[in-house]
Amino acid sequence: MKLGNVLGWLAVLGFCLSNGCAKYPAGGNSLITKRLILTIKLEGKVRYGQDLGQLPYIYVMALRLSTDQNPKDSGPEPVTNYGGNGFVAGNCTHFILFNPSAANPYEIWQFRDTSMNDRFLTGYAINYQDPRQGSQPAVLQCEIDLSQLVPAGDVDSIQSIQANLFTMDRYALDSSGHSWDALGNSRISSQDNTYLTFDLRSSRVITNNQTGLEPPGNDVNGSNDPDLNLVDWSIEVRLQQ
C-alpha cells in the first residue's frame, strides 16, 4: 500500500502529549516495542454522556493480530443485526474501548478464545487525546505498544493486523435494533466486512484519504446521527529506534 500525506486535519491535530494524556498506569507495561496510534474523527462529537439524561455511545477500535503477512480469513466485522457479544463479529483478538467513566478512557481488552464472548482487560493506552476535555470533541486518538497485546518476546512474530473501527448507540444483544457505523459504507450490505489489513514491517501511516474506505457522507446504519458517523481515520505504525 502506498503511503500518502496525513490528512490536513490530522497534521494540525498532531498527537496530544500535554493535554489529556497519560503514561502507563501503576503496574502497567513500560516496554517499548512497536507502537500503534489510532485516530477516529466523527462528523459530530464523541458522545460520552456529557448532556443531562444522555447515555454514552460505544466507540471501539477492533484488532485481529496475525502471524501471517496476508491472512486469508476475515478480520473484525460489525454486528449488523444482533447476537454474539453485540459489537464485533468475524475474527478479533483485541479491542480498544472508549470508556468515559474511567480516568484513562482507552481500555485495552483481549478475547480469551475465538468465540469472542469471554474477554479481559489488559491495560490502558500509553498516550491519548481526551474528548471530555473539549479541545477536540470529535476526535478519539490513542497510542498503544504491541507489548500490551502480546508478550514482548512475541511481538516480532506478529506480521500483520486486521483492524476495524466501530461506533454504535447500544450493544446489539437483542432484536430491538441499534444504529452503527464501521469502515466502509455501512448502508451497503456488501461493505459490512470492510476491515483493513496492514503489516508491521516498517513505520507507516495509513489514512482514509489513501484507502477511500469511509465515504464522505453520513452512512450510519439505522439513523443519521452525526455522533456515530465516521468521517476520517488514520492508523500509524511506529517502529521504535
Q: pLDDT digits over 89-101, tens only?
A: 999 999 999 999 9
Average model confidence (pLDDT) for the chain? 88
Q: pLDDT digits over 58-84, tens only?
A: 999 999 999 999 999 999 999 999 999
Judge whether 78 and 164 are in contact, CB under 8 Å: yes
Q: Does residue 9 register a pLDDT over 70?
A: no
Predicted TM-score (pTM) of the model is 0.88
Cell triple for 104: 484513562
DSSP structure string for 55-105? PPPEEEEEEEEESSSS-SS--EEE-SSS-TTSSEEE--SEEEEE-TTSSS-
The residue ranges of every structural domain in the chain are 33-239
Q: In this structure, what is the dihedral angle of CA atoms 201, 203, 209, 214, given to the nearest 10 degrees?
A: 60
In this predicted structure, what is the pLDDT of residue 30? Answer: 55
More confident residue, 8 or 130: 130
* Dihedral sign for Cα atoms in the order 152, 156, 162, 167: positive
Work out the pLDDT band at 135, boundaries 50, 70, 90: confident
In this predicted structure, what is the pLDDT of residue 10? Answer: 39
User: Letter for the amino acid at 181?
Assistant: D
E strand intervals along the chain: 34-42, 58-66, 76-78, 88-90, 94-98, 106-111, 119-124, 127-129, 139-145, 160-168, 180-181, 196-199, 204-207, 230-239
The distance of Cα 239 from the centroid of its chain, to the nearest Å, equals 19
Cβ within 8 Å of residue 84, ≥6 positions away? 116, 117
> What mean pLDDT do residues 27-48 have?
85
